[in-house]
Amino acid sequence: MAAAREAADAAGVGLFVDARTDVYLSGAPGDRLAEVEERARIYADAGADGLFVPGLPDLDAIARLAGGPLPLNVMAGPGAPPVAELAAAGVARVSVGSAIAQSAYAAAARAAAELLAGGTYDTLADGLDYGALNTALAGR
């Protein structure tokens, strides 16, 4: 990480180094919050610009980590606090990771199962029409 920061700085490249730690995703035993805090200090010393902690469990831990030494990025999803609460806790960036794609694949699987099992397609009723899709993809 330090080498990447040094190389980017030497080349004049505006590189944002977002240090990720999967301590909460790994299910590792022990004081995970203390582990992440220690890693954050090490990452900051190495030149990281942000800390990404997917799987962070609760708003108190989020607020504690958002206090520094790096801006905090979290992955949100079902059951996570709303964006406004995350922002109030000091979160710099909220990601949903692959959750939107996973949700789309789940809808495709439900539609395929319905079509194969009963020959019907009611699951497709909530889809976006071509006009809405084209507008969304055109950025208008």
Q: Which CATH number do you get for residue 41?
A: 3.20.20.60
Which domain range does residue 66 map to? 2-97
Based on the structure, what is the number of domains in the chain?
Answer: 2
Provide the pLDDT for residue 140: 61
Q: Torsion over CA of 99, 43, 90 and 103, rounded to 10 degrees?
A: 0
25 with 83, same domain: the answer is yes
Provide the pLDDT for residue 126: 86
Mean pLDDT, contiguous 10-residue spans, the chain (140 residues): 93 94 86 94 96 91 96 92 96 93 94 96 90 85
40 with 107, same domain: the answer is no
The total number of residues written for the chain in this structure: 140
54 with 107, same domain: the answer is no
CB-neighbour burial class of residue 137 (10 A; exposed 0-12, middle 13-18, buried 19+): exposed
